[in-house]
Amino acid sequence: MTITIIGIGLIGGSMALSLKEKGLVQRVIGVDNNAAHAHQAITLGLVDECATLEKAIDESDIILLATPIGAAEKLLPIILDRVTKQVVFDVGSTKHSICTSIAHHPNRKRFVATHPMWGTENSGPAAAIKNAFIKKATVICSKEESDVDAVALIEKIYGLLQMHILYMDAASHDMHVAYVSHISHITSFALANTVLEKEREEDTIFELASGGFESTVRLAKSNADMWVPIFMQNRDNVLDVLNEHIAQLRKFKACLEKENYTFLQELIENANGIRRILKN
């Protein structure tokens, strides 16, 4: 089979490496509007060739849409206009908006909405990682709106990648990822800005930053071009979780202002309950 990957970055590139190694696809076509990325993807062996969108669609069995979600929403109707029997799937971090945008498209059933729950703060073809998805979760959204054979093929792909598949509707997905993913990025961006504003000595930050600080702000290195559209599309859910997060921060602030260290200990011990869920 031949797969076209539109957007040859972290997710698309990592998936290309794994699917070719697993033998599911024999040919990988890349489509990227960044000429440097296209050249790099060929040089790194992520794709066999790069082509125009039209040529790539016509010569493919599977089409992976791995661009930032704003671009993905614009491209998906164009792709569906051209497909016949090809299966199209995306890997975007929000699902409700893109699913709604093609809800009445005549080829809607050839599209499967997915979200592999893995990523790093890096981007571009050079960020691609072999065997990146093993034992990670992936979400297939609103599978009843897709053809049975299309869903089966995408399930096979994620099975080969050794991912655990979850099923939910697009709106529920967006609500849950606001809590487990999107707020983490906002917190990291805000913390990085706080430190950069208050600690003017860059050498001091570098020398004193411990593993805990570094892991907390790691996500602050993520690409703004990717995350601004995510926050835009999931605005209501992100605002909801952000309001709750701010309320929790105010509790910690009040404890210190009022020297209520008993309640401060209770807050921390309650937070320790996350151990039950995140056992590693």
Q: Does residue 191 sit in the same domain as residue 131?
A: no
Q: Does residue 66 sit in the same domain as residue 202?
A: no
pLDDT at 123: 84
Tell me the per-residue pLDDT of 248-279, one tens digit each, with 9 for 90 and over: 999 999 999 999 999 999 999 999 988 887 76
Q: How does 187-204 read in b/e, with b if 16+ C-beta sit within 10 Å?
A: bbbeebeeeeeeeeeeee
Share of the chain above pLDDT 90, in %: 72
Query: What predicted TM-score, i.e. pTM, was given to this entire model?
Result: 0.85
Which residues span the domain enclosing 77? 2-169
Q: How many domains does the chain have?
A: 2
Final residue belonging to a domain, choices 169, 187, 207: 169
Final residue belonging to a domain, choices 140, 169, 198: 169
pLDDT at 276: 80
Bridge-based pairing state of the strands 49-50 and 27-31: parallel
Question: For residue 125, what is the domain's CATH number?
Answer: 3.40.50.720
Q: Does residue 126 sit in the same domain as residue 216?
A: no
Q: Does residue 48 sit in the same domain as residue 78?
A: yes
Q: Does residue 130 sit in the same domain as residue 235?
A: no
Q: Does residue 91 sit in the same domain as residue 163?
A: yes
Q: How far is CA 153 from CA 65, 140, 147, 158, in A?
A: 15, 12, 10, 9
Q: Does residue 97 sit in the same domain as residue 230?
A: no
Low-confidence ranges of the chain (pLDDT < 50): none
Final residue belonging to a domain, choices 121, 142, 169: 169
Q: Does residue 26 sit in the same domain as residue 67?
A: yes
Cα separation, 115 vs 253, in Å, equals: 36
Q: Does residue 10 sit in the same domain as residue 100?
A: yes
